[in-house]
Amino acid sequence: MVLGAVLSDETTKQMRLFQQPAKEAGLSDAIRVLEQIQRLDLEIGLTEEEEKRYLRDIEGIKVELQKAQDEMEKLKPETEALNAQISLVDEKIRISVEKIARDEKRLSEIKNAKELGALNKEVSAANKSKKAGEEEKARLSGAVDEKNEIAKSRLSFVNAKNDELNRLNHELAVKKETWAIAISGILERKESFKAGLRPDIFKKYETIRAKRGGVGLARVEDETCQACYIHIPPQVYIILKRGAEELLTCPHCHRILYVDSQVQAPV
C-alpha cells in the first residue's frame, strides 16, 4: 500500500480544521483532536504492519533457501559415493574384457575337446561377469542421473528464491525511505494536534494506545464499544451523548470512549 493514498482528503481537511486548536478547548473538542491523532497513529501503524509483512516474507524465503541448500549439500557426497562405485564396476568390466580377449587368443592353441570345453567355460564366465558389471553400471548411472536432476531442480529453486529475496529487500529499502518521509510528516502533524490538547489527556491516550494494540480511542455506536464490541452501561452512553465533563473509558477494553458528533446532543 502506498502511504500517500492513506492520507485521505478527509484527513487533510480535518487537519486544517484543527491546525490551530484553541488552548482552552472543551472535552468534546479534545475528543475530536484525539480522533485526528488516532487517525495519524493508525496510518503509521499501517506502515509498521507492512514492514512486518515484508520481514516475515524475507525470513520465510531465507528458511526455504537454507533448506534447499542443505539438501544440495547432502546430495554431493551421495553422488560422489555412486561415482566411486561406478569406478569400481568399470575396473571389473575392464578385467572381464581383458580376460575375454586373452581367452579368444588361446583358442588357436587348443589341442583337444577337453581344453576347448574348459576354455568355453572360462569365456562364458567372463562374459557373464562383464554383463553383470554393465548392468550394475547402468543402474548406478541411473541413480547418478536422478541425483543430478534433483540437484538441478534445487539449484533453479535456489536461484529463483534468491531473485525473490533480492527483489523484496530492494522493495523494502525503497519503501522504508518513503515511509520515513511520510512518518516524519505525520509525526509533525501529530505534534501540532498535541499542542492543542491538555497534556494529561494526551498522556492518557498514549498510555492506553500503547497497551491496547495501537488503538486508544473507541467510538460508541448503539451502546456498543466499536473497539471491543461489548455493551457499555446505558448511563455511560447517555452521558457520552450529552457531552461528558471528563474522559470516559470502556469498562471492558479501557479505551477512551466517544460518540459521533451527529449523535451527540447539542449543548
Binding residues for Zn ion (CB under 5 A): 225, 227-228, 250, 252-253
Neighbours of 259 (CB within 10 A): 20
Shortest Å, Cβ 177 to Zn ion: 37
CA distance 175 to 187: 18
User: CA–CA separation, 156 vs 151, rounded Å?
Assistant: 9
Q: Which residue has the cell 570345453?
A: 117
Q: How far is the CB of 259 from Zn ion (least distance, A)?
A: 13
At closest approach, how far in Å is the CB of 254 from Zn ion?
Answer: 7
Minimum CB distance to Zn ion, residue 155 (Å): 54
Give the length of the chain.
267
In whole angstroms, the minimum distance from the beta carbon of 224 to Zn ion comes to 9
- Closest approach of Cβ 163 to Zn ion, in Å? 46
C-beta of 253: minimal distance to Zn ion in Å? 3
Give the start-end residues of each E strand in the chain. 217-221, 224-225, 256-258
Q: Nearer Cβ to Zn ion, position 30 or 236?
A: 236
- Cα-based angle 236, 242, 243 (whole degrees, multiple of 5): 90
> Considering only CA atoms, which of 248, 184, 159 is closest in space to residue 43?
184
**Grid-cell match 553400471, residue found:** 137
Whole-Å CA distances, 94 to 84, 98, 135, 141, 194: 15, 6, 14, 17, 90
Q: How does DSSP classify residue 19?
A: S
The rounded distance, in Å, linking the Cα atoms of 138 and 115 is 35
Complex with Zn ion: residue 33 or 250, whichever CB lies closer: 250
Identity of the residue, 201 or 236, whose beta carbon is nearer to Zn ion in the bound complex: 236
- Residue 262 CA neighbour count, 13 Å, CB half: 1
Comparison of 198 and 252: residue with beta carbon closer to Zn ion = 252
